[in-house]
Amino acid sequence: MTEDTATELGVVCEHAHDIRDRLERVPGGPALVDAALGAARGGGDAAAELARLREALVALDGRGLAAHADGVHRVGSGGAGVTGAGLPRPAFALYGCPQGRCPRTWEPTPAEDVPVCLVSGASLRPPRGR
């Protein structure tokens, strides 16, 4: 799997619900999300399925999967005026893909349960060394 494919898979895993919602008015659109996740779940590359999903999203509004790409994960609000707020969180504090198939990460918060990978069904992996 290429790095771009892995990145797209991570975006789909993290934002599957929102992507399905965007594709509601496209015939067969929500099924494209399931096809991409299913191909990865089956151990495949999923590049072809992700390409079809990306094309449908671009045709819909021109943004594709980029509409859901977070970039750097941050702590707090950057405009809150609190020292350290909005700074990138150390990599050791991030949970990651349980199979290492994608670069998806999650920052733990006291109010949330650890998310589940939509490919493997396992919870995201805690930071190493803990």
> How many angstroms separate the CA atoms of 27 and 18, rounded?
16
Closest CA to 53 of 96, 22, 94, 90: 22
- Distance CA(17)–CA(103), nearest Å, equals 19
Q: What is the reported pLDDT for 123?
A: 94
The fraction of the chain above a pLDDT of 90, given in percent, is 56
Q: How confident is the model at residue 88 (pLDDT cuts 50, 70, 90)?
A: low
Confidence (pLDDT) at 92: 54
Query: Which pLDDT value is given to residue 71?
Result: 54
pLDDT single digits (tens) 50-74? 999 999 999 998 989 988 876 534 3
Q: What is the pTM of this model?
A: 0.74
Query: Cβ atoms within 10 A of the Cβ of 127, count?
Result: 14
